[in-house]
Amino acid sequence: MAESDYLTTVYVDVTGLTRECISERVNALVAEKYAATAEISERAHHDSGNEIRARLHTRAEHVNEIRRRFNNLGGMIRDYPLQCAPDYAAQVLAGTERSLE
């Protein structure tokens, strides 16, 4: 696999915002092919009500754009190498292939 095809999981944890607000940003990232898949979960947070977590699978080269989109929300953004089966890796690569327009 080429270096540009290196895959990663990005976690975005945000408190004090609605699930809908995070969903809008995440859905835009998927629509624009900055992420192949996205999963959003919500749990109670002891200080600020709820914590929203978005988990995205993408190429490492797209992580900076994801960070840029969520930076002003004051959340925590972490990324880790994605270890997965070759067929899922192919799906992530296909879902994040952006044309140079």
- Residue-wise pLDDT for 39-80, tens only, equals 999 988 777 678 999 999 999 999 999 999 998 888 899 999
SS (H, E, C) 19-34: HHHHHHHHHHHHHCCC
Which CATH number goes with the domain that contains 48?
A: 3.30.70.120
Q: Structure tokens of 37?
A: 């898949």
- Decide if 101 is inside a domain: no
- Decide if 100 is inside a domain: no
- Decide if 55 is inside a domain: yes
For helices 19-31 and 63-70, the axis angle rounded to 10 degrees is: 150
Structural domain of residue 54, as residue ranges?
3-95
8 A C-beta contact, residue 23 and residue 64: no
Sign of the C-alpha dihedral, residues 85, 11, 26, 101?
Answer: negative
For residue 58, the cross-strand partners are 8
State the total domains in the chain.
1
- Decide if 44 is inside a domain: yes
Residue 4 pLDDT greater than 50, yes or no = no
